[in-house]
Amino acid sequence: MYGWMGRILRINLTDEKIKWETLPEDLARNYIGGNGLGARILWDELKPGIDPLSPENILVFATGPLNGTLWPTSGRLHVMAKGPLSNAWGEGNSGGHFAPYLKFAGYDAIIFEGAAKKPVYLYIDDGIVELRDAKHLWGKDVWETHEILKKEIREDIRTAAIGQAGENLVRMAAIMIDKYAAVARSGLGAVMGSKKLKAIAVYGTKQINLYNKYRFYEFTYQAQRRLSSHQFSKEVKQYGTEILVDLMNEIARYPTRNFQSGYFEQYEKLSAHLLKEKYRVRDESCYACPLHCKKYNAVKEGKYKGDGGLGLEYETLNAYGGRVGNSDPEAVIYANALSNKYGLDTDDVGGVIGFMMEIYEKGIIDKEFTGGLELKWGDSDLLIKLINMITFREGIGDLMAEGTHRAALKIGGEALYYDMTVKGVDIPAQDGRAQKSMGLSHVTSNRGADHLTSGEFLSEVGWPDAIVERFEKRAKEIYGRSILPEGADRLSPKFKPLMVYDSEHLAALADSMVVCKFSTHWPPVFFFEDLAKAVTYATGYKYSEADMRVIGERIFLLERAFNIREGLSSKDDRLPERFLKEPAQTPPNKGHVVELDEMLSEYYRLRGYNSEGIPSYDRLVKVGLEDVAKYLYDM
Note the residues at the interface with other proteins (CB under 8 A): 68-70, 97, 104, 155-156, 179, 205-208, 213, 217, 221, 224, 228, 281-292, 296, 298, 307, 309-310
Decide whether 222 or 544 has the Cβ nearer to other proteins.
Answer: 222
Decide whether 305 or 481 has the Cβ nearer to other proteins.
Answer: 305
Phi, psi of 416 (to 5 degrees): -60, -30
- Beta strands 59-62 and 77-82 are antiparallel
Alpha-carbon gap, residue 501 to 152, rounded angstroms: 47
Decide whether 104 or 334 has the Cβ nearer to other proteins.
Answer: 104
| Shortest spacing between CB 31 and other proteins, in angstroms | 23
Decide whether 154 or 481 has the Cβ nearer to other proteins.
Answer: 154
DSSP letter (8 states) at residue 380? H
Alpha-carbon gap, residue 186 to 141, rounded angstroms: 20
* Residues 548, 518, 625: CA angle, nearest 5 degrees: 25
Alpha carbon distance, N-terminus to C-terminus of the chain: 35
| Shortest spacing between CB 55 and other proteins, in angstroms | 36
Query: How many residues are present in the chain?
Result: 635
Decide whether 221 or 633 has the Cβ nearer to other proteins.
Answer: 221
| Shortest spacing between CB 284 and other proteins, in angstroms | 5
Decide whether 152 or 489 has the Cβ nearer to other proteins.
Answer: 152
DSSP letter (8 states) at residue 616? P
Kindly list the distances between the CA atom of residue 50 and the CA atoms of 28, 84, 294, in Å, as whole numbers in the listed order.
27, 11, 37
Bridge partners of 176? Answer: 161, 182
Contact 630, 470 (CB under 8 A): no
Decide whether 280 or 496 has the Cβ nearer to other proteins.
Answer: 280
| Shortest spacing between CB 213 and other proteins, in angstroms | 7
Decide whether 218 or 250 has the Cβ nearer to other proteins.
Answer: 218
| Shortest spacing between CB 311 and other proteins, in angstroms | 12
Kindly list the distances between the CA atom of residue 429 and the CA atoms of 43, 347, 353, 370, 450, in Å, as whole numbers in the listed order.
30, 8, 14, 26, 9
Counting Cα atoms < 13 Å in the Cβ hemisphere of 323 gives 28
CA atoms 622, 625, 626, 631: torsion sign? negative
Which residue type, as a one-letter code, is found at position 282?
R
| Shortest spacing between CB 532 and other proteins, in angstroms | 21
Which residue type, as a one-letter code, is found at position 431?
D
| Shortest spacing between CB 287 and other proteins, in angstroms | 6
| Shortest spacing between CB 309 and other proteins, in angstroms | 8
